[in-house]
Amino acid sequence: MARAMRALGEQLQAEATCPLCLELFSQPVLTACGHSLCSSCARDLLGTPPRPTACPQCRATVQPGSLRPNFTLGAVAELAAALEDEAKRPRCAEHGEPLGSFCHSCSQVLCPRCQEEGPHCGHHTRPAEEAAKELRETLQGNLEFLEKEKEKCNPKDDPISILMGLLAMEQKSLRSAFEQLQEFLREQEGTLLTQLQGMQARLSEEHQQHTHRVSERRALLEELVAEIQKKRDQPAVEFLMVRLRGWGDKARCERCSLALCGEAKVPIPVPFSELLMATSSLCNKSKEVLDTLSDFRVNLLSKVDTERVKVMLDPETASSYLTISSDCRTLQIAEEHQNLPDNPKRFTGSSSVLGSQGFTAGRHYWELEVGDGNSWAVGVALESVERKESVIMAMDKIWALRMDWNHSYTTLTMPPTPLSLQDEPRRIRIHLDYEAGQVTFYNIDNMQQILQFNVSFTEKVFPYFWLWLPGTYIKLCS
């Protein structure tokens, strides 16, 4: 029966379908040849302005003004639409009846038979439209809330985007500031070099003139020397009897010789004082500029390189076999054992010393130099490191790079781990990352990593230094 009803419904829809738009008739009109069209399809068929055209079904001529409303077919089309809607309504899988009620107790949609006969009998039910309306209102409220939340989720307004924008602005400002600074420095460099080059040219010109005057005087003196030597070497009688030009009697000859000798002693004038003052002024200005640039570089590094720390040696922890410089930056083996007070901090079992500053957080690094000798170690140690026993007993709380007596590099661990290094590091950077638990050693000359320890720190960490043989030193860089 249901299949027959669906077939009849499909046949009814076919009869109520417009041959042009293939949709159910909407306000159908009837042609003179007895065929029907939707009123809108008929207008499109006749065109603007209306003109005779062929019927789309029988090709008979359709004249403008000959179309009449087909109310009966319109009613049939509405009935077919209702049947189509009814056919599309969801039906109960068990009874085949349209679903029209909602059970609040079970949150299920019911058909009339489910509501009367099934397990939902006696449950609180409502018409599906009312339940859907209430649910739509709830969903609408949720939708409005979600729309507002969606507006708040604009990627351009999130804190990270704001920070990224701030960093981009800072990068732009920093780049611009450094470009302006570089341009200013280039201008000042050009000005100073021009002044120095000008003074260089002036000195060169004065030097050439002075050299020329000296050469002229030398040539004149050589000529006079040759002439006097020639006259001096004549026989006595001829020498006394000569009466040549410029040479008179003996007294006149002596006076002339004295005059020439006096003139030869007079220095050739050079504007030395003026040139000295000008050159000295330029050199002083250049030195002031270099000092200013050096101070600027140091100040800039102190602002930018915040991880660098100025480590100093702690004399209270130093072994009595070690000597520390007055500025607490240089460490050497003492010439003889020192009589130092034994306090809890002092190393007495090994020739060790700690830095004066310890760390419980953050990233820090310090730099040092080692001499040409051997038997030294540098690194870090825990505050609780053993100080009254040998270094072997304290190795579980020390992480250091060691140079042994045979110039081989190892870790200060037990057993020691040998290291194969292409270059002998004389300037070393030690980097401590407390949270990451890393102690890293670098060769400053090429910034190649030498060694890295991975540790889990739970207490304060101090810079650590150890020396064993004379002939070397450890010097902390300022």
* CATH code, 42: 3.30.40.10
| 446, 390 Cβ separation under 8 angstroms | no
| 363, 338 Cβ separation under 8 angstroms | no
Q: What phi-psi label fits residue 60: left (phi over 0), alpha (psi between -120 and 50 degrees) or beta?
A: beta
The reply to whether 148 falls in a domain is: no
| 326 in the same domain as 300 | no
Residue 81 sits at φ, ψ, to 5 deg, of: -65, -40
Reported pTM = 0.48
| 264 in the same domain as 221 | yes
- Exposure of 50 by Cβ count < 10 A (0-12 exposed, 13-18 middle, 19+ buried)? middle
pLDDT at 73: 85
Q: Other CB atoms closer than 10 Å to residue 443's CB: what's the count?
A: 18
| 339 in the same domain as 464 | yes
pLDDT at 2: 54
Range of the domain at 69: 1-88
How far apart are alpha carbons 366 and 429 in whole angstroms?
A: 6
pLDDT at 271: 66
| 371 in the same domain as 275 | no
The reply to whether 419 falls in a domain is: yes
| 472 in the same domain as 327 | yes
Domain total of the chain: 3
pLDDT at 83: 77
pLDDT digit of tens for each residue in the chain (478 aa)?
456 666 777 787 888 889 888 888 889 999 888 889 999 998 888 888 889 988 888 889 888 888 899 888 888 888 888 877 666 677 777 666 777 777 866 778 778 777 667 777 767 777 877 778 888 888 888 888 888 888 777 766 677 777 888 888 888 888 998 899 889 889 888 988 898 898 888 888 888 888 888 888 888 888 888 888 887 777 877 767 765 444 444 444 554 555 556 555 656 666 667 888 888 888 888 888 888 888 887 777 667 778 899 999 999 999 999 999 999 999 999 988 899 999 999 999 999 999 999 999 999 999 999 988 889 999 999 999 999 999 888 899 999 999 988 889 999 988 889 999 888 899 999 999 999 999 999 999 988 999 999 999 999 999 999 999 888 899 999 7
Q: Which of 33, 62, 88 is the last residue of a domain?
A: 88
The reply to whether 29 falls in a domain is: yes
| 335 in the same domain as 271 | no
Cis peptide before 267, with omega less than 30 degrees from 0? no
Helix pair angle (2-15, 71-88), 10° resolution: 140
* Tally of CA atoms within 13 A in the half-sphere of 71 that contains its CB: 0
| 338 in the same domain as 283 | no
How far apart are alpha carbons 113 and 129 in whole angstroms?
A: 18
pLDDT at 213: 84
- Tell me the Cα Rg of the chain: 55
| 202 in the same domain as 80 | no
Q: Other CB atoms closer than 10 Å to residue 262's CB: what's the count?
A: 9
How far apart are alpha carbons 231 and 245 in whole angstroms?
A: 13
| 281 in the same domain as 334 | no
Q: Which of 88, 120, 149 is the last residue of a domain?
A: 88
Q: How is residue 70 written in tokens?
A: 């087909």
Cα Dmax for the chain: 174
| 275 in the same domain as 203 | yes
Residue 292 sits at φ, ψ, to 5 deg, of: -65, -45
Dihedral sign computed on CA atoms, order 203, 209, 211, 217? negative
Minimal CA–CA distance to 394: which of 409, 377, 370? 377
pLDDT at 75: 87
The reply to whether 268 falls in a domain is: yes
| 467 in the same domain as 357 | yes
Calculate the CA 317 to chain-centre distance. 40
| 329 in the same domain as 192 | no
The reply to whether 104 falls in a domain is: no
